């Protein structure tokens, strides 16, 4: 066998990686990281890199669930409000009962109820995901403020705080959980029948229905998955802050959607990956951390996040249009 023949599979893999949607994002992450390492002596220290991963855990966990929703061409604007409502009610129950386990169950229960409401409204009532989740965002925020009366909950049981504050073998438990959820999400999307159905529904719901796929059931399931991830993210956030505040996770939905879209998941549906979302989460985490180290105003951080979403959607729109023109030519 010739050397050229032996090397061709490797060359094919390299070319495939370079032509994928993830390659530009990985390149951007590397370029930004290198630039920040020159601009700040602190950036590449082990403590700061650990801080980036820890700070990105909440957005990362929520982004795992959001990836499922967006691949079906849906959207979930209620993720931050769901985290605030579920986290506050769970923390309040844990505080009054002195039982962290009851608090954990309450957080997950409230989150799943919100996700089921979203999924039912979109899948069976046929309402637009944007409008439904925008309305739920407002309702959840209002309920959180009503239940809290603007006051935070402190003195929480250690069981409720453990996921967001504990260390395990020198690593933050929240970071370990984030990696595990990304791994589970990746396997679920790429190696299971359900994952293939998620892509099919996002690519062409009518064709998926004709192929015998329960489109409504798939859509409903993705919103429940997103809510479960939001619940886990709420537990991590409460544990990290050792408190539950009524305004917690405000604006988190913007970062979550940004991470997913920047990672190559198409808002038009049918395309995306957990690996891309992970890179998107890290890119946002690195940018937020770098701007903070450089003492840049937090207002500019929000501007950069919005600009990244705009660029990602713009590139996705151009790519979708190019593929359609190529298919019709």
Q: What share of the chain is helix, strand, coil (3-state, %, to 5)?
A: 80, 0, 20
Structure tokens at 23: 């390659």
What digits encode the pLDDT tens for the residues 185-228? 999 999 999 999 999 999 999 999 999 999 999 999 999 999 99
Range with lowest mean pLDDT among 10-19, 101-110, 171-180? 10-19
What number is the average pLDDT over the span 257-268? Answer: 89
Whole-number pLDDT of residue 314: 79
Check whether 281 has a pLDDT greater than 90. yes
Q: What is the mean pLDDT of residues 267-273?
A: 89
Confidence at 68, pLDDT banded by 50, 70, 90: very high
Tell me what pLDDT residue 298 has. 75
How many CB atoms neighbour CB 170 within 10 A? Answer: 6
pTM of the model: 0.89
pLDDT score, position 326: 63
The candidate with the shortest Cα–Cα distance to 130, out of 233, 270, 249, 267, is: 267
Taking the C-alpha atoms of residue 160 and residue 151, their distance in angstroms, rounded to an integer, is: 19
The interaxial angle of helices 173-191 and 57-71, nearest 10 deg, is 10
With cut-offs at 50, 70 and 90, classify the pLDDT of residue 11.
low
C-beta neighbour count of 95 within 10 angstroms: 19
CB atoms within 10 A of CB 193: 8
Quote the Cα angle for 304-309-314, to 5°.
Answer: 125
Residue 258: pLDDT over 60: yes
pLDDT surpassing 70 at residue 301: yes
Can you list the pairs that 294-302 forms with residues at least 24 positions away whose Cβ atoms lie under 8 Å? 294/39, 294/40, 302/251, 302/254
Alpha-carbon span 114 to 259, nearest angstrom: 22
Tokens for 3, please give them: 């050397």
The whole-number pLDDT of residue 137 equals: 97
pLDDT band at 320 (very low <50, low <70, confident <90, very high): low
**pLDDT at position 175:** 93
Residue 72 has a pLDDT of 96
SS3 167: strand
* pLDDT at residue 126 tops 80: yes
Q: How far is CA 288 from CA 53, 76, 229, in A?
A: 12, 22, 22
């Amino acid at each position: 066998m010739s050397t050229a023949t032996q090397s061709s599979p490797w060359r094919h893999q390299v070319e495939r990686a370079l032509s994928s949607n993830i390659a530009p994002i990985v390149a951007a992450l590397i370029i930004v990281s290198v630039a920040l390492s020159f601009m700040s002596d602190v950036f590449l220290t082990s403590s700061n890199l650990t801080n980036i991963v820890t700070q990105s855990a909440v957005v990362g966990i929520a982004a795992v669930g959001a990836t499922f929703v967006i691949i079906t061409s849906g959207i979930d604007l209620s993720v931050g409000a769901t985290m605030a409502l579920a986290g506050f009610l769970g923390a309040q129950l844990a505080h009054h009962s002195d039982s962290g386990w009851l608090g954990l169950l309450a957080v997950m229960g409230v989150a799943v109820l919100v996700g089921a409401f979203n999924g039912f409204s979109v899948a069976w009532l046929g309402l637009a995901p944007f409008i439904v989740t925008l309305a739920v965002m407002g309702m959840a925020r209002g309920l959180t403020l009503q239940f809290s009366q603007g006051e935070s909950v402190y003195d929480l049981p250690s069981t409720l705080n453990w996921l967001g504050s504990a260390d395990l073998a020198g690593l933050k438990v929240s970071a370990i959980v984030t990696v595990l959820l990304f791994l589970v999400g990746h396997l679920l999307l790429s190696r299971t029948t359900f994952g293939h159905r998620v892509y099919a529904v996002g690519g062409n719901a009518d064709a998926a229905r004709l192929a015998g796929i329960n489109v409504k059931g798939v859509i409903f399931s993705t919103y429940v998955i997103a809510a479960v991830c939001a619940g886990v993210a709420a537990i991590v956030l409460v544990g990290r802050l050792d408190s539950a505040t009524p305004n917690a996770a405000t604006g988190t939905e913007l970062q979550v959607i940004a991470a997913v879209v920047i990672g190559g998941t198409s808002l038009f549906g049918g395309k995306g990956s957990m690996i891309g979302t992970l890179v998107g989460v890290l890119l946002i985490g690195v940018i937020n951390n770098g701007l903070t180290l450089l003492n840049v105003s937090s207002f500019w951080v929000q501007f950069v996040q919005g600009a990244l979403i705009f660029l990602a959607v713009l590139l996705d729109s151009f790519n979708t249009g190019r593929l359609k023109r190529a298919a019709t030519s």
